[in-house]
Amino acid sequence: MSNNRHADDPQPTVVHTADLDLATVRAFVAVTEDRYFSEAAATLGITQQAVSKRIAKLESDLGVRLFSRTRTGAELTKDGGAFLHHARALVGIADQALEMLQARRRSLRVDVLDTRLASLDVIRAFHQTAEDVEIDIVTSNGLRSARGALAHGSIDAAFARVSGTLEDDLVSMPAYLEQAHLLVGRDHPLAGLPQVKTAQLSGMTVWMPGNAAGSEWAEFWDLFGAAFDIRIDTSGPDFGWEYFVEEVGAGERIGLAGEWCRLPSHPRTVQIPVIDPAPMYPCSLLWHRQNHHPVLAPLTRFIESRFRPYDPRHQWLPAPDRATFTMDLDGGFSPPT
């Protein structure tokens, strides 16, 4: 068979992906979805004439007819139908590339319950390993608001105790366990002890006015109280950390706080570790499955490298938290890409 071609024979048209104008492909997808050129123009924020020109150029570049106009709008031709899947893929890839570049230019937005809590220490430690990373701290009321904020994209990640079942699009990994410390005034009988055993608190009332009803941390302390016969008093007023520490130091009330919580100093308040078993508050890092911020992956790797699992011999966790915080992360966790 001869491969010779006569000089007058028409030459085949070769269209490379790089030769396609993305704006024309986007117009094609818009017309397909909206059916009318006028509706597609409104979606794209351009004129109907501009849409028509873009479709005509795309048809010229491809060498095929993509639409036939009917009374019910623009109908795809057989060639148009064959091209649609690839057109959507091209637009999708372009949008993902733009989203990735925009994410690189903006800060990672991380939600924490309070800037006095251990979550901020984790973020600061991570930032020391990646000083060129920009991070914005957002404070909220914990898991209740973080779930919606992650879904809507107003934050990229959140530190919180996971209570209940998360939505399918949310991902979590154990971040850290924080030992509870007892707060008492200097005149309290326990004030002189270097450590307090959990059993010594049995029958006592612990004052925690910041335990908001329905919050994941209030649930944790309720479960702790029920397990060791300790009454958790959430009566107010809740005027903040300074007031809380001052009230404990001034009277007979006792309180609980995390080991790494940056409590205001008060000359009459003593902080004592609780042991045998040590109550450990579990905190996880959460993010949305479709969030591809480039800083998420190194943050999760950093947290994974520092994580120390739950030790049931010396520590206490509520039953719902134990499985997650005793898990072996080696080979069992995939960070975001």
Alpha-carbon distances of 68 from 27, 52, 175, rounded to whole Å: 15, 13, 57
Whether the bond into 267 is cis, omega within 30 of 0: no
Quickly state the pLDDT bin for 132 (edges 50, 70, 90): confident
HSE at residue 222, side-chain half, CA atoms within 13 A, is 12
Domain ranges within the chain, ordered by starting residue: 17-105, 108-337
Do the first three CATH levels of 17-105 and 108-337 match, i.e. the same topology? no
Q: Which residue type occupies 144?
A: R
pLDDT of residue 1: 39
Q: Evaluate if residue 8 carries a pLDDT over 90.
A: no
- Residue written as tokens 């209740």? 144
Mean pLDDT of 307-332: 84
187-205 tens-digit pLDDT: 999 999 999 999 999 999 9
Mean pLDDT of 117-143: 93
Q: Which of 176-180, 238-242, 304-308 has the highest mean pLDDT?
A: 176-180
Mean pLDDT of 311-317: 96
pLDDT of residue 83: 94
75-108 tens-digit pLDDT: 999 999 999 999 999 998 988 777 766 655 579 9
Start-end of H helices in the chain: 22-34, 37-44, 48-62, 78-105, 118-129, 143-152, 216-228, 241-250, 296-306, 319-325
pLDDT of residue 100: 65
Of all residues in the chain, the percent with pLDDT exceeding 70 is 89
Q: What angle do CA 317, 183, 248 make, to 5 degrees?
A: 135
Domain 17-105's class? Answer: mainly alpha
24-78 tens-digit pLDDT: 999 999 999 988 999 999 989 999 999 999 999 999 999 999 999 888 889 999 9
pLDDT of residue 102: 60
pLDDT of residue 105: 59
pLDDT of residue 283: 98
pTM, 2 dp: 0.69
Of all residues in the chain, the percent with pLDDT exceeding 90 is 77
Q: Evaluate if residue 186 carries a pLDDT over 80.
A: yes
pLDDT of residue 103: 54
CB neighbour burial string for 78-92, b if at least 16 within 10 angstroms, e if fewer? eebeebbeebeebbe
pLDDT of residue 117: 95
Mean pLDDT of 134-160: 94
HSE at residue 171, side-chain half, CA atoms within 13 A, is 17
pLDDT of residue 336: 55
Is CATH 3.40.50.150 what the domain over 108-337 is classified as, yes or no? no
Quickly state the pLDDT bin for 7 (edges 50, 70, 90): very low
Give the separation between CA 205 and CA 201, rounded to whole angstroms: 8
Candidates 236, 232, 223; CA nearest to 256 is: 232
Q: Evaluate if residue 6 carries a pLDDT over 70.
A: no
Q: What does the block give as tokens for 141?
A: 């009321």
